[in-house]
Structure 1
Amino acid sequence: MHESRSYRLVRAVGLSFLFLFTVLPLYVMLSTSLKPLADVQDDFHWLPSTITLRPFVDIWWTVPLARYFGNSVVVAGFASVLSVTIAVFAAYAISRYTFRGREIFRMAVLSTQMFPGILFLLPLFLIYVNVGQATGIKLNGNLSGLIITYLTFSLPFSIWMLVGYFNSIPRELDEAALVDGASPVRALLSIIVPAAKPGIVAVGIYSFMTSWSESLFASVLTDENSKTLAVGLAEYSTQNAVYWNQIMAASLVVSLPVVLGFLLMQRYLVQGLTAGAVK
């Protein structure tokens, strides 16, 4: 179909606007991170008068960024691994087996995504406090409590997406493995999981990104030693000064793991989301 000149013009203008809308904030972050604090506190200039890498060094000493970074890696890593592992088995059971309450379970899993997360903040906090008082197991102000919390966010969507992906895989593959004497678990791990690799990677990326950037629950369920990056970045703003150049530098640094992971796994992510939307 021949494209008219007006259509090409509108498309070029729209794409240019989207490009500027995406690139300009990144440029402001980068340019601000390369300025001395005195220049940042002055009137904004698009081009830095003085370029310095000092903010990228100071970010590790102004606040304990390395500890917050490590906490985020542990929380996001464990939450994504657990989410993927549980979702694989749950989605396989829903996709391949018929049992009483199957459809109700599917709808219940999906319906949890309809409620805003803030509704669960106070109940989870009270549950963690009561569990700690009753058993001595500290979940509030502890990384384990945050991992469980993020697992409840990512697991329903992960199960729902993997069910759709497993449904797109022919049943004959695992049925042939069962005929050859393989157990259902072995058929899942040796046949279905390799075939569903794009969907599993997409679920892992989603779970990691959700856990990495969440700040509301982290601000309530953590203490000084268990803070994550999303909460710790606020400490660059004090009563005496706001270190805008360090905030921008730290934001760029903490975004790198997610950006690099997304770029490396982009092919799998697109395949997983496309297949997961089939059903």
Structure 2
Amino acid sequence: MTEHAFPPQHQDSMPADEHEMTPAPDYTPRFPGVGKLKDKVAFVSGGDSGIGRAVSVLFAREGAKVAIAYLEEHEDAEETKRLVEAEGSEALLIPGDLGQRAHAFDAIARTVERFGKLDVLVNNCAQQWVDDPLEDLSEERLRRTMDSNVMAQVFVTQAALAHLKEGAAIVNTTSVNAFKGNDSLIAYSTTRGATLAFSRSIAKALIKRGIRVNAVAPGPIWTPFIPGSMDAETVAGFGTQTEMGRAGQPWEVATAYLFLASEDGSYFNGQTLHPNGGTIVGA
């Protein structure tokens, strides 16, 4: 595939903004809801845009009320709230840094205060930068990546455990890079490997309480990650290296989260789903 997949573009921020992307990522669910999450309450970190937005909207279509946690992308978050409400559900916006333990606990407390309970936890927030070569990776950037991608998941999960009951589900976002590595995303790939190990470990610990834990490992997906972390020309060819010859769209990934969060995935624990365009990796 020689033609550009996307127009060249770049944003000088991380997380970047979905409303500035061309074309806009496709979050729209493809099928009518059938109540798979009826009367459930879900907390989605990084829910303002990208995969998080697609998950929030799909969960709302299936009957869930959604707490949308995000860092500071207020315009994107407000749009996601509008989209959730357009599905006939309710949304709570919670801005702030979940890599700070106090805020993570406050975010979960606000969710339970608003909706009365918590049934589904989606640990999705993350940041990434192209950091090749390794010797140029700064301590500041490494720590920021770890705080966003690892510490936030641990802190939010710790906070949620006081409220998750038997039958609850946790779905963590990892990455294809946790399985195959990436020489230009070393810090990011390392954190996603940590997420994978965290998911498998707490899956063993929490199944005793009747709480299932699984992960989703997306491949190249058209989200604000991409223009926020890559130069314009790299963005232009993004996703063309996959077996399908294209990047995925957020809606194509959100269905994996729904499966694992709902009773459809009732016999899945400690597992990883791989919406990655055809890359074969170890499970």
What is the TM-score of this pair, normalised by structure 2?
0.24
Tell me which structure has the larger Cα radius of gyration.
1
TM-score, normalising length: structure 1: 0.25
Name the structure, 1 or 2, with higher relative contact order (CA <8 Å, separation 6+).
Answer: 1
Higher strand share: 2
